[in-house]
Each structure stands twice: as C-alpha cells, then as structure tokens.
C-alpha cells in the first residue's frame, strides 16, 4: 500500500527540500519504490538538490494540465533505480495546481506500485502547501530550534489536524513527526538555541530526527547530491537514522549532546 508523506514547515529556509531529497534517497536505498514531488511551483529547487535539473523536460503542472503523461514527466534517479523525481514548474504560479489534478497524479503513482510518495511542500499555508498536505498519511514537520520557526510550525500542526482529507473523513489526524535541523548542541548548552526537549514540549509531537548544523549540507546541495549519500557527514548519518526510525527501526538519537572539551581546551578557552 502506498504511503504519502508530506515534508512541511511554517517557515521558509529550514531545510524541507534537503529533507525530502534525503528521505527519498534513504527509502529507495532500502529497496522501496519512491516518488518525490516538488510542490513549490514557481521556485523549483528539488531537481537541483537531486542533481537532475538538466533532465527536466516536463513538470508537475504539465501533467496536471494534460500537456504530457506522468510517465513522461517522472525523472528516474541515476543512482537508484527505484527513485523518481517530479519537478515543479518555474514558469507557472501556484494557482496552476488543483486538488483534482494532484489526486489524479497520486492515484496513478499508487497504481504504479510506488511504496512511498514524498511531497516536498512550500513553506507556510498558501495553496501549494495546502495541497501538499491534504492527501498525506504522514507529515514530517521540519523545524529550526528557534522561536519563530517553532511558532510557525505550531500553525502547521493545526492545519494537519483539520484541513486534510483524513480530517474531513473523520479518519483521525495525519501522523506527525518532528525533524529538527541545523541543531547545535554547543549553542543549546550556551543558551543561544532551543533544545530538543524544549521544541518537543511546545509542539507536542515525537522527534523523528535531529540534523546537526553542518557545512556538508550546503556542499552536498551545491553538488546536486543529497547529503544522506555522504556517509562521512554527521548530517548524512543523522538523516539515515531518521529514515530507519521512519520505517520502524530503533535508533539512538545522536548529535544532540555538546562535545566535552579536553583539559587544554578548557585551560586556553579554545
């Protein structure tokens, strides 16, 4: 049975697309058939992070408006045979999306035997974001551990509980997971950043993963390689752990404690 997962947030720039790409790759590495869809019409970043921007011929809006088939628009990942990308349009606006069109595409993917559909949502509560979450079975709420990001994500949790197909049908709320990005245990210890427990207490949902602040994320994105493929990167390792938890495996939470300084560092303050 196909599971639809929306990756969402209330605030932009928190790492949703990086998260969508890494989760899609991680699930495909487990042998799952995965499609990842960019709902951010007008901007289109997913294909850049996936490294397939030069291969985009048709996009999400082309399929919705009947200008091509879904099969024509899906881009097969070069690294993983079971992973496919559906890019957003850069030349249309978000009004080009329709609930009926999105439902049709998701239905075709389910009929094609996809195990997971990852919906990479734009930030906030506009039409693209609303459609990305409407059909979801599960939601991953991406949050930076700072006040404005947490506050805006609280609004998203309210929408997930009330403005989805599951809510309309009385099937209960979409299952929600919290993913913290750009986390710095040292800044938490210094009182400059909210801790994991603080964010969890405010939002009231379980933590799927904590992605440490890392220059490796930007380096990987610029190279068109999802950071989860960098086994040496703490961020890549943390995303791999999150994928394992998403599929029911028990993994300890890493990268949440500040490193203890050695004696010389404590003496000289470096």
- Tens-place pLDDT, residues 143-195: 999 999 999 999 999 999 999 999 999 998 899 999 999 999 999 999 999 99
Determine the Cα–Cα distance for residues 126 and 41; give it in Å rounded to an integer. Answer: 11
Q: What is the pLDDT of residue 268?
A: 59
Q: What is the pLDDT of residue 92?
A: 79
Beta bridge partners of 206: none
Q: Are 3 and 115 in contact (CB under 8 A)?
A: yes
- Tens-place pLDDT, residues 80-117: 999 999 999 887 777 789 999 999 999 999 999 999 99
| Nearest in space to 239 (alpha carbons), one of 216, 223, 258 | 216
Share of the chain above pLDDT 90, in %: 85
Q: Are 76 and 83 in contact (CB under 8 A)?
A: yes
Determine the Cα–Cα distance for residues 241 and 248; give it in Å rounded to an integer. Answer: 11
Q: What is the pLDDT of residue 126?
A: 83
- How much is the pTM? 0.93
Cα-Cα-Cα-Cα dihedral sign, residues 229, 176, 15, 62:
positive
Determine the Cα–Cα distance for residues 6 and 179; give it in Å rounded to an integer. Answer: 12
Q: Are 199 and 191 in contact (CB under 8 A)?
A: no
- Tens-place pLDDT, residues 209-229: 999 999 989 999 999 999 999
| pLDDT at 139 > cutoff 90 | yes
Q: How far is CA 158 from CA 26, 30, 163, 178, in A?
A: 28, 32, 8, 14
> Interior CA angle at 201 toward 250 and 243, to 5°?
25
Q: What is the pLDDT of residue 167?
A: 93
| pLDDT at 235 > cutoff 80 | yes
Determine the Cα–Cα distance for residues 209 and 196; give it in Å rounded to an integer. Answer: 10
Q: Are 111 and 2 in contact (CB under 8 A)?
A: no
Q: Where are the beta strands (DSSP E) in 46-165?
A: 75-76, 83-86, 116-120, 138-143
Determine the Cα–Cα distance for residues 29 and 253; give it in Å rounded to an integer. Answer: 21
| Nearest in space to 9 (alpha carbons), one of 139, 147, 156, 182 | 156
pLDDT band at 265; cut points 50, 70, 90 = low
């Amino acid at each position: 049975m196909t599971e639809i997962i929306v990756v969402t947030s209330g605030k932009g720039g928190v790492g949703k697309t990086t998260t969508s790409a890494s989760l899609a790759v991680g699930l495909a590495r487990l042998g799952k058939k995965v499609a990842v869809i960019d709902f951010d019409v007008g901007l289109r970043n997913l294909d850049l992070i996936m490294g397939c921007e030069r291969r985009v011929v048709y996009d999400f809006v082309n399929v919705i408006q009947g200008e091509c088939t879904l099969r024509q628009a899906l881009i097969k990942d070069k690294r993983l045979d079971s992973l496919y990308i559906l890019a957003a349009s850069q030349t249309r606006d978000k009004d080009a999306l329709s609930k009926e069109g999105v439902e049709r595409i998701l239905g075709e993917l389910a009929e094609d035997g996809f195990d997971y559909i990852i919906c990479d949502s734009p930030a906030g509560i506009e039409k693209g974001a609303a459609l990305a979450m409407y059909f979801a079975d599960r939601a991953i709420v991406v949050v930076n551990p700072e006040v404005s990001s947490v506050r805006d994500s609280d609004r998203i949790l309210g929408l997930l509980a009330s403005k989805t197909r599951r809510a309309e049908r009385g099937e209960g709320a979409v299952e929600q997971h919290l993913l913290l990005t750009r986390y710095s245990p040292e800044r938490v210890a210094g009182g400059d950043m909210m801790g994991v427990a603080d964010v969890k207490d405010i939002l009231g949902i379980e933590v799927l993963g904590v992605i440490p602040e890392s220059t490796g994320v930007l380096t990987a994105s610029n190279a068109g390689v999802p950071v989860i493929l960098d086994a040496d990167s703490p961020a890549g390792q943390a995303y791999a752990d999150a994928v394992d938890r998403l599929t029911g495996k028990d993994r300890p939470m890493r990268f949440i404690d500040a490193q203890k300084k050695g004696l010389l560092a404590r003496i000289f303050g470096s």
